[in-house]
Structure 1
Amino acid sequence: MELSLREKEKQIEQDMFNELVPKGGGLTVLELVEKYVGLKIGVRQSTYAGYKTVINLLKKDDFGKKRIDKVKLSDAKAWLIKLQRVDKKGYSSIHTIRGVLRPAFQMAEEDDLIRKNPFGFELVNVIVNDSVRREAITKRQEREFLRFIKEDSHFCKYYDAIFILFNTGLRISEFCGLTKIRFRL
Structure 2
Amino acid sequence: MTVNKLIEQYLDLKTNLAVSTKENYTHIYEKNIKDTKLGKSKVKDIKKMDIQAFYAYLFTKRNFCRGTIQLYQNILFPAFQMAVDNDIIRKNPCNGCMKEYTRGSMSSTKYPLWILGLKN
Do these two structures clear the TM 0.5 threshold for a shared fold by scoring above it? Answer: yes
RCO (CA 8 Å, sep 6+): is it higher in 1 or 2?
Answer: 2
Residue segments in structure 2 that go unaligned for 5+ positions in a row: 104-120
Alpha-carbon distance in structure 2 between the residues aligned to 1:98 and 1:108: 15
* RMSD after superposition: 1.5
Pick from 65, 79, 82: which aligns with 1:90? 65
Alpha-carbon distance in structure 1 between the residues aligned to 2:94 and 2:10: 15
Is 1:115 paired with 2:81? no
Find the counterpart in structure 1 of residue 12 from structure 2: 38
The residue type equivalent to 2:39 in the other structure is G
SS in structure 1 opposite 2:23? helix
The residue type equivalent to 2:7 in the other structure is V
TM-score scaled to structure 2, two decimals?
0.78
Alpha-carbon distance in structure 2 between the residues aligned to 1:43 and 1:118: 23
Find the counterpart in structure 1 of residue 33 from structure 2: 58
Residue segments in structure 1 that go unaligned for 5+ positions in a row: 1-26, 130-185
Deviations 1:130-169 (A, max 9, x none): xxxxxxxxxxxxxxxxxxxxxxxxxxxxxxxxxxxxxxxx
Find the counterpart in structure 2 of residue 68 from structure 1: 43
Change (3 A) 1:102 1:113: same
TM-score scaled to structure 1, two decimals?
0.52
Alpha-carbon distance in structure 1 between the residues aligned to 2:16 and 2:48: 31
Q: Highest CA radius of gyration, 1 or 2? A: 1
8 Å CA contact 1:29, 1:66 repeated in 2: yes
Q: Which is helix-richer, 1 or 2?
A: 1
Find the counterpart in structure 2 of residue 10 from structure 1: none
